[in-house]
Amino acid sequence: MIKPHGAEELKPLYVEDDVVRAQLLEEAAGLPAVVVSSAAASSAVMLGSGYFTPLTGFMDAADAKSVAANMHTTDGLLWPTPVVNVVPGDQVPAGVAPGSRIALLDPNVDGNPVIAVQEVTAIESLSDAERAAIIDQVFGTDDDAHPGVAAFKAAGDTLIAGPIEVLNFSYFPGDFPATFRTAVELRAEIAERGWDRVVAFQTRNPMHRAHEELCRMAQQAVEADGILIHMLLGKLKAGDIPADVRDASIRKMVELYFPENTVMIAGYGFDMLYAGPREAVLHAIFRQNSGCTHLIVGRDHAGVGDYYGAFDAQTIFDGISDALEIEIFRGDHTVWCNECNEVVMMRDCPHGGDAYLFLSGTQVREMLAAGEALPPEFARPEVADILAEYYQQETVGA
C-alpha cells in the first residue's frame, strides 16, 4: 500500500490504550486548561486520526510562517497550511510556559470536555504584520468575507506549540457513526478489500450527476480498483448543506447507481478552510495518509467565491509532485451535453455552450425550495428528493 506522507508508517496521535487514556484524563483534571478554537479542535481530531501524519502536534511560529511562505516546515517537510493552536493572549493560563502540560478543551461539545493533552514547547505572540502575512500567503486574500480568513483572524494572536496526545474524536463518532472514519480505519478497509489503486473524491457538497460521472471517469482513467467518496463532516460556512443531508444523498446515489463493492463512503472530522489551492494540497496529503493512490482535483477545488482561478488548485501541484506519492487526476468542468447525451468533461467535448445544461447554485436552491424537480440530467431524482425535503423544511422554518 502507498506509504504515508513523510513517514514509513502512519502516526495517529489518538491514545488507544484505555488505561493510559484514563490516566491522561485524570491528569488533565489537574492541568491548566484552554478552550481551543473549533479549527484547533478539528486539527486535534485530524492529528488523532492519522490524517496529519507525520505531524506530532501544533506548530510553533517558525514552522507556521515557513509553511505559509513556502509550503514547507523549517525541516523541509511539505505542508501547505499552518496547523496551529491559536488563542487570544489573555486566554493563556497564568504560569504556563515551555515545559508545562495543558488540557485542551473542546468548544464543540457541551461541557467542553478534554479533547487532548498538550506539552507546551513554545508560547509566541504573532504581530499584526505576521498574522497578515500568513493570511495572505495561505488564503490569497485578507478579505473578512472569506470564511477561512475570518476564522483565522477571530482565533487570536498567540500560538501554543507542542506535541499532543488525543483523547477523543469530538462529536464526530457520535453524530456520524456510520461515516466518520480515521485514516487508520480507511487503510485497514482498503487492505481488507484488496484494493491496490484507489481514487479519492473530496466533497463538502451533495453529489450531482457531474460529480458522479467524474468519479467514474477518474476510476476508469487510472484503472482504480475502487473509489473513496470522502466527505468533510466539520464546520462549514453559512448556506452550505449540513453533513447529515449530504451523507444521506451520497449514500442513496451510491446504493442505486454504482456497482456493489466499488465505492467506500467515509467522512473526516475537519473544519473547511476554503483555502483553494493550499487546501487541495492538504486534501492530497490526508488522502495519501488514508491509503489512496489518486485524488480527483476538479474545477475550483476547495474554493469559495471568486478568490481563486478555476484551476489554481491543479497547477499548484506542478512544482511539488515529487514530494507526494499520491497522484492527481485533473478534472475539467463536467456538465451534461445534450448533443453527446451524456455527462462530459468540456475539454473532451466538441460541442459548445449551447449544448450544455448549466444550473447555478442559486437556481438549484430556488427550485428545490419550491418543490420543483431538478432535470434528471443534472441530478438523480432520488438525490434531488432528499435535497428538496431539506430545502423545503428550511423555507418553512425561515
Q: Rounded to a whole number, what is the distance in angstroms from the first to the last CA of the chain?
A: 49
Q: Name the amino acid, one letter, at 156.
A: G
Q: How far is CA 187 from CA 1, 78, 98, 141, in A?
A: 8, 22, 36, 36
C-alpha cell at 229: 467518496
Q: What does the alpha-carbon distance between residue 209 and residue 110 come to, in Å, rounded to a whole number?
A: 38
Phi-psi region of 261 (alpha: psi -120 to 50; beta: other; left: phi over 0): left
- Please confirm, yes or no, whether 205 is among the known catalytic residues: yes
In angstroms, the CA 61 to CA 17 distance is 32
| Grid cell locating 177 | 457513526
Identify which of 388, 386, 385 has the alpha carbon closest to the alpha carbon of residue 367.
Answer: 388
- Residue pair 282/246 in contact (Cβ under 8 Å)? The answer is no
The two beta strands, 122-125 and 356-357, are unpaired
Q: Which three cell numbers, joined as nine digits, stand for 61?
A: 511560529
Beta bridge partners of 165: 117
In angstroms, the CA 362 to CA 368 distance is 10
CA distance 38 to 293: 30
Catalytic residue among 205, 216, 251, 365: 205
Residue of 204, 216, 251, 365 with catalytic role: 204
If DSSP codes are grouped into helix, strand and coil, which group holds residue 376? coil
Say whether 380 is catalytic.
no
Q: Which three cell numbers stand for residue 324?
A: 507526494
**Beta-bridge partners for 247:** none
Angle at alpha carbon of residue 141, lines to 43 and 41, rounded to 5°? 10
- Catalytic residue set: 204-205
